[in-house]
Amino acid sequence: MGFEHYGKIKKYRSANGCDVLPEEFHSFSEAANFWDTHDSIDYESMMKGVDFYKIATKRRGIKMPYVSMFFGIIIRMFYNEHNPPHFHAEYQGQRGVFDFNGNLIKGHIKSNTARKLIKEWVLLHQEELEGNWKKAEQKKQIDRIAPLD
């Protein structure tokens, strides 16, 4: 296996002529340099699938799993939360905190339609939300809840 330097990245050639996909990149710049000069289609057989929502829902090391998604609304529950029981909703970049009766208690979601859909969803799934709250308090994995159809 030979190598050549490309910027700060050593490129190793595999038997099939493609550069070996690094196990990890040590900076965004290093990753950008690599992918600017390589096509991901050449590496499909080496790539692992990832759960986008697990990645997208981490902030400062705190797990923030999504519970449900429907009509562009994302419902989340956090593991390190405080009483009273509640959940977080996001819609078009706006965020709100809702109680288990569907009332907005903090934040701002401008869309009346989105708020009505959230309330309708909550009223259909109150028991499941309460069960998830108890699991979250115990640091157990919460369950996904069916979206609004």
Specify the 3-state DSSP secondary structure of 11: strand
76 pLDDT more than 60: yes
| Mean pLDDT score, 79-88 | 83
Confidence check: pLDDT of 116 > 60: yes
**Long-range pairs, 133-138, Cβ under 8 A, ≥24:** 133/77, 133/85, 133/100, 136/77, 136/78, 136/79, 136/81
pLDDT of 25 higher than 90? no
The lowest-confidence range among 100-109, 116-125, 135-144 is 135-144
Q: Does pTM surpass 0.75? A: no
